């Protein structure tokens, strides 16, 4: 099940594959609705016959006609109920599928996409925009079914009196042109409304996730005013939408009333003149009321359609986005990884801006531990992002065990390279599930062993529920050092042959860090490790240090050698120590 990638198709045709995956329940809903409306169209004709039997022919079969009308009415009600059940089931399944497709696509996109798109925009498109598309996709066909029943009702009207049927339909061409005009004016405001709702979602998301920053700078009032301004812009869009509805909806709803007035005028004259029976005029009016329902829904259908179109195009903006980082044709899996990493004259920049890495050249032997040191902005963290291929290099070659990282599959590459970032992220689940995130089938013994290796076991045991303790959003119920130790344990449990510690012990107390380093010192002997750090204690984990400046390696050697021969190295360590203090 996929949304069509053909951008030349109308938006509703691109959604069709999702609808088709639920065609059984959807067709049952439409079929039952059609059957219910057919039963409803039979009632006025049966009423006409009953009145003729009772008043004209003085027949005693009136009770039979009443029973028949009751039976048909019950059948109409039952089929209508079944139709609604299947319709709502289809609607909610379609909504769930669309949301799953968007989430699946978001996980497929590259980091460069998230660098430029706000998370609030994504949340809005995965909620309110999907709801608009779902409502139109499921209810519009139902309204069209009612329009088809209107044609059947018109057929009965022609059968009763062709001239009166033509008189009743004189207002319909006007309704058509009103609907066309209404559709044109509704689309722009529908787009603006959805976009401004997304702005509100963005502000709310930023304030929830950045609540500590907001409170730290006492900016609560400013953020409330910012949200109020965004809410006022949404209110303006809704008011404008209501004004357009108020301007055009009366035409759609009241023009059919003019047709009813014409029918009563000319039909009444025909009854008085003896050209039409009382039962016929009553049946005719009932059919005319049936015709009004679809036309009264026409305005709602137009509004829903324009809002759904605007929402669908906003959704397609995401689904039509292609990831920058994908497997090349013929990409193969990294199987037995020794851990040799080679940077050969690598160049890299974010979004075609100034180069972060320039002629970066480094060669790391299998099992070697390397510390990367440099000033802020020298490109240390960028190195970690390139090894895992979060971004692709602009020039040069980056290879693992002699294989260009662009020639191997992303899955096997990232399974082979474990990264502990400087800003650890924890999910709102138990600590055990957070540690076992990369290996869901890990045993309790394995999880505890990884926690012990990261020096996290003791504080976990002191928590109310131990390893079953559920952490708050992003893990903020724990201290920064505790979050980092759990993140380290999560990576160690996967046991990757290549490990990258991106300033992973920066938020950990010096005494705790010593315990972690003791455990890491044993583990790092069996894997290639890149340590991005500024603390001398962390640098001591590595057998060799690379000094970066302006995106390139300017010195390489042991900590002692660089202190003795490279003044810049001592300056960087002094600046780091001052900043930490």
Is residue 326 in some structural domain? Answer: no
Phi-psi domain of 367 (left: phi exceeds 0; alpha: psi -120 through 50; beta: other): left
Q: Are residues 113 and 246 in the same domain?
A: yes
Q: Are residues 243 and 357 in the same domain?
A: no
Helix (H) or strand (E) holding 420: strand 417-420
Confidence (pTM): 0.69
Is residue 150 in some structural domain? Answer: yes
Q: Are residues 307 and 353 in the same domain?
A: no
Count of domains observed in the chain: 2
Instruction: Say how many residues make up the chain.
Output: 581
CB atoms within 10 A of CB 439: 15
Q: Are residues 420 and 272 in the same domain?
A: no
Strand partners, 499: 418, 529
Q: Are residues 279 and 423 in the same domain?
A: no
**CA trace torsion 559, 563, 564, 566 (10° rounding):** 110
Is residue 412 in some structural domain? Answer: yes
Is residue 4 in some structural domain? Answer: no
Residue 547 and residue 566 in contact, taking contact as beta carbons nearer than 8 Å: yes
| Residue 254, domain CATH | 1.20.1560.10
Question: From CA 559, how far away is CA 542, in angstroms rounded?
Answer: 9
Q: Are residues 252 and 364 in the same domain?
A: no
Q: Are residues 541 and 437 in the same domain?
A: yes
Say how many CA atoms lie within 13 Å of 194 toward its Cβ: 28
Q: Collapsing DSSP states into helix, strand and coil, what is residue 397?
A: strand
Q: Are residues 368 and 288 in the same domain?
A: no
Residue 187 and residue 163 in contact, taking contact as beta carbons nearer than 8 Å: no
Question: From CA 246, how far away is CA 303, in angstroms rounded?
Answer: 12
CB atoms within 10 A of CB 294: 20
CB-based contacts of 33, cutoff 8 Å, min separation 6: 79, 80, 83, 87, 142, 145, 146
Residue with tokens 């689309």: 187
Q: Are residues 240 and 359 in the same domain?
A: no
Range of the domain at 440: 341-580
Q: Are residues 228 and 376 in the same domain?
A: no
| Residue 355, domain CATH | 3.40.50.300
Is residue 324 in some structural domain? Answer: no
Is residue 335 in some structural domain? Answer: no
Q: What is the pLDDT of residue 54?
A: 58
CB atoms within 10 A of CB 131: 17
Collect the ranges in the chain with pLDDT lower than 50. 579, 581
Q: Are residues 107 and 243 in the same domain?
A: yes
Q: What is the pLDDT of residue 581?
A: 45
Is residue 327 in some structural domain? Answer: no
Residue 108 and residue 2 in contact, taking contact as beta carbons nearer than 8 Å: no
Is residue 363 in some structural domain? Answer: yes
Question: From CA 209, how far away is CA 448, in angstroms rounded?
Answer: 30
Q: Are residues 78 and 109 in the same domain?
A: yes
């Amino acid at each position: 099940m996929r949304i069509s990638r053909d951008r030349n198709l109308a938006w509703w045709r691109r959604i069709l594959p999702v609808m088709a995956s639920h065609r059984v329940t959807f067709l049952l809903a439409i079929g039952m609705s059609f059957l219910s409306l057919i039963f409803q169209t039979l009632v006025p004709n049966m009423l006409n016959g009953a009145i003729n039997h009772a008043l004209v022919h003085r027949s005693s079969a009136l009770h039979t006609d009443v029973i028949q009308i009751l039976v048909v009415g019950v059948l109409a009600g039952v089929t209508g109920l079944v139709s609604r059940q299947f319709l709502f089931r289809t609607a909610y399944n379609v909504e769930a599928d669309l949301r799953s497709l968007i989430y699946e696509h978001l996980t497929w996109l590259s980091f460069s996409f998230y660098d430029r798109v706000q998370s609030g925009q994504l949340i809005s498109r995965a909620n309110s925009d999907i709801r608009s598309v779902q409502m139109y996709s499921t209810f519009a066909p139902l309204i069209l079914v009612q329009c088809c029943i209107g044609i059947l009702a018109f057929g009965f009207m022609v059968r009763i009196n062709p001239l009166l049927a033509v008189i009743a339909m004189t207002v319909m061409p006007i309704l058509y042109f009103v609907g066309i005009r209404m559709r044109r004016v509704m689309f722009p405001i529908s787009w603006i409304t959805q976009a401004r709702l997304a702005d509100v979602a963005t502000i709310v998301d930023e304030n929830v996730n950045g609540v500590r920053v907001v409170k730290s700078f006492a900016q609560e009032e400013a953020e409330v005013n910012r949200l109020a301004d965004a809410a006022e812009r949404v209110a303006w869009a809704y008011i404008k939408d209501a004004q357009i509805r108020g301007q055009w909806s009366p035409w759609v709803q009241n023009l059919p009333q003019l047709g009813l007035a014409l029918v009563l005028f000319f039909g009444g004259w025909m009854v008085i003149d003896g050209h039409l029976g009382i039962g016929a005029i009553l049946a005719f009016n009932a059919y005319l009321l049936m015709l009004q329902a679809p036309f009264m829904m026409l305005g709602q259908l137009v509004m829903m359609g324009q809002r759904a179109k605007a929402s669908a195009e906003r959704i397609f903006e995401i689904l039509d986005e292609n990831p920058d980082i994908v497997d090349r044709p013929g990409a193969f899996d990294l199987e037995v990884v020794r851990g040799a990493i080679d940077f050969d004259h690598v160049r890299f920049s974010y979004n075609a801006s100034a180069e972060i890495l320039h002629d970066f050249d480094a060669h790391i032997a299998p099992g070697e531990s390397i510390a990367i040191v440099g000033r802020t902005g020298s490109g240390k963290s960028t190195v970690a992002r390139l090894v895992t291929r979060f971004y692709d290099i602009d020039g040069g070659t980056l290879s693992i065990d002699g294989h260009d990282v662009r020639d191997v599959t992303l899955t096997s590459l990232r399974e082979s390279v474990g990264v502990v970032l400087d800003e650890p992220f924890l999910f709102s689940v138990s600590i055990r599930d957070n540690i076992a995130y990369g290996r869901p089938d890990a045993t309790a013994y394995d999880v505890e062993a990884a926690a012990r290796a990261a020096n996290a076991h003791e504080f976990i045991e002191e928590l109310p529920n131990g390893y079953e303790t559920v952490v708050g959003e992003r893990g903020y119920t724990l201290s920064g050092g505790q979050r980092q130790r759990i993140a380290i344990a999560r990576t160690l449990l996967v046991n990757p042959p290549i490990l990258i510690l991106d300033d992973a012990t920066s938020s950990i107390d010096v005494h705790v860090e010593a315990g972690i380093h003791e455990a890491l010192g044993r583990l790092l002997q069996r894997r290639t490790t890149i340590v991005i750090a500024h603390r001398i204690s962390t640098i001591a984990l590595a057998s060799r240090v690379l000094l970066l400046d302006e995106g390139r390696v300017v010195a390489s050697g042991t900590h002692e050698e660089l202190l003795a021969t490279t003044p810049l190295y001592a300056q960087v360590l002094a600046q780091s120590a001052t900043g930490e203090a």
